[in-house]
Amino acid sequence: MSEPAVLSLRGASFGYEDGPRVLDGLDFDVREGRALALLGRNGSGKTTLMRLLSGGLRPDAGRLTVDGTAVTYDRAGLTRLRTTVQLVVQDPDDQLFAASVGQDVSFGPLNLGLSDAEVRARVARALAALDIAELADRPTHLLSYGQRKRTAIAGAVAMRPRVLILDEPTAGLDPDGQERLLATLDGLRADGTTVVMATHDVDLALRWADDAALLTPDGVRTGPAAGTLARPELLARAGLRLPWGVAAARLLRAHGLLGATAAAPRTAEELAALAAGAPATD
């Protein structure tokens, strides 16, 4: 992986009061332009890691850097960090607080001291990116769950971060809502946003991510998603199962229907292409 690191934790440790260390001596990079899936069992430290990366928590030891420069945790330093990285939590009701969608999305840009014209432009672009422009004046308490999810993400996007961190963004969404959200994330990535997604869905991670980071009792193991998510012993340490595409590829290989070096299918269409003897397309 040759892309430069936007965010880096070096030697980072963190433990909650009266509890054991959640992370200890962690080295971790978020690389420019990569889609990174963060996976692990409940209690493995995913939420803690995301909050350390976004400045919501300060490491007990070690440091967080942006482009190699150490983050400071005074008001000015955290403001600078939040123009680089935004975290969207799993439950949108923990993030939404304003009376209307437009007001909620405008909150962050207003706090940056931007002009009214710049704030309006950012809000309009964020609402359009999340496909909720028609909801600008709707009261937030009248939104569906999926609309609340999109509004929370729009509030982060309006800050124009280089890194967008999402905690279980597809949880609670129906299949159509999940597909729409993934298409939105693809659009954000095309515009230059690096996306980090915490998820329990190994199939989604294999399909969507460039890289996967698995949190295990031995630490965090990061690598290209296709290879990392094909290691059963590593997945077992993280409390995860093999993705269905990897399991299907193993079965096909066992019956001589797939070459040893052929990539595992990530979608039903790729599996159908393999079964028909045609090369799968990306």
**E strands within 55-182?**
61-66, 69-70, 85-88, 163-167
Comparison of pLDDT for 141 and 249, the residue scoring more:
141
Q: Please report the pLDDT score of residue 277 as a whole number.
A: 64
End-to-end CA distance of the chain: 20
- The span from the CA of 260 to the CA of 277, in Å, is 15
Once rounded to an integer, what is the mean pLDDT over residues 213-229? Answer: 93
Q: How high is the mean pLDDT of the chain?
A: 90
**pLDDT tens-digit profile of 111-158?**
989 999 999 999 999 999 999 999 999 999 999 999 999 999 999 999
Q: What percent of the chain has pLDDT over 70?
A: 95
Q: Considering only 141-145, 206-210, 217-221, 278-282, which range has the smallest mean pLDDT? A: 278-282
Per the CB < 8 A criterion, the answer to whether 259 and 280 are in contact is: no
Does the pLDDT of residue 210 top 90, yes or no?
yes
**pLDDT tens-digit profile of 65-90?**
999 999 999 999 999 999 999 999 99
Beta-carbon contacts of 118 under 8 Å, excluding residues fewer than 6 positions away, are 109
Strand partners, 261: none
**pLDDT tens-digit profile of 9-37?**
999 999 998 888 899 999 999 999 999 99
Q: Please report the pLDDT score of residue 92 as a whole number.
A: 92
* Domain spans, the chain: 243-282
Does the pLDDT of residue 281 top 60, yes or no?
no
Per the CB < 8 A criterion, the answer to whether 163 and 3 are in contact is: no
Once rounded to an integer, what is the mean pLDDT over residues 222-245? Answer: 92
